[in-house]
Amino acid sequence: MKVTSLSTDQYLDLKRQFQLHKLPFKEDVDLSIHCSFKIGGVCPVVAEPESTEQILETLAIFQKLEIPWKILGGGTNVLISDHPNDLVVVRLSGAFKHFVELEEGVFKIGAATNTTPVFRQISLFGYTGAEFLSTIPGWTGGAVIQNAGCYGGELFDLLTEVEFLRDGEIFRLGPADIKHGYRTTEFLERKDSIILSIKMKLVKGTLSEIEESLKDKRDRRNSSQPKNKRSAGSMFKNPKIFDESQKEIKAWQLIDKSGLRGLYKGSAQISPEHCNFIVNTGGAKASDVAYLVEVVQEKVKKDSGVLLEREVEYFGSVP
């Protein structure tokens, strides 16, 4: 698919509007520094709204100028385009980077908070149940969109409310009113939705047991992932299939069975340590990773009859 870059005039008009409305933005941002893959090109303009009002003003300008846009959070589950100049990136800032305990055990957490330090801190306040979230990198908004989880827990198990913006209206819905499942939510389909914050209620626990739980989950995470941290986590969802003994067959097992462990394209590699990870060994392009993704899907489909579904989202035009 041919990528249509935004024109210089479009960017100039956009910057004038941002300056007129006193909306925060940055120019010529290297997006590779904002993702765990360390892959991605330079985006000419990145909007950084600090409040819901500023988000609404920013979106109104995009609509007026007919400019496409996309939200970028912590960048831990995305593969960013090598040429992100066909859209404007939005990264939440300001009030969205904070969390607060509203009452005992009830927390309101901004969408732009970093999950690992936030949920570790909340756990060390003496509340239990969210320890697993301290091992999942990224921003809280992205965790909502993906229904992030591990070690038998999912974010939606803990939520009492998601606050989000859609079609210019603010919604506050409980988990029962939001379509969600294993590593998926309706927000993956509704790209026009912007997560603003979440609320969750946790119960008090024993601090020594919580600390042990945090350590155990951190150690398990570190031992199960490649030493090269330049990746986006698991590239493919587990297909939810089982062998004759009803033991779940994992995506990595199918990839390994197809003999793809360690395969290179450019500076991207299917990790020899964990073959459901694709790692950037230094200077990899989005096109390199996309090539390996396609090879895996085609080879596993041919060998095992299973079409693996990507867990990592493509951000912009990839390849």
Residues noted as catalytic = 183, 234, 311
What separation in angstroms does the CA of 52 have from each of 28, 95, 175, 186? 24, 9, 22, 21
Q: What is the DSSP pairing of strand 169-173 with strand 313-315?
A: unpaired
φ, ψ of residue 15 to 5 degrees: the values are -65, -40
Confirm if 127 and 105 have CB atoms less than 8 A apart.
yes
Provide CB contacts within 8 A for 22, sequence distance 6+.
none
Query: Which residues does 171 contact at the CB level (< 8 Å), separation at least 6?
Result: 162, 163, 164, 165
> Distance between CA 187 and CA 41 in Å, rounded?
25
**Nearest CA-CA partner of 213 in 115, 128, 107:** 128
Token pair of 197, please?
A: 């914050």
| Rounded CA separation 50/48 (Å) | 6
Contact between 177 and 171 under an 8 Å Cβ cutoff? The reply is: no
**Ordered strands of the 268-270 beta sheet:** 264-265, 268-270, 278-280
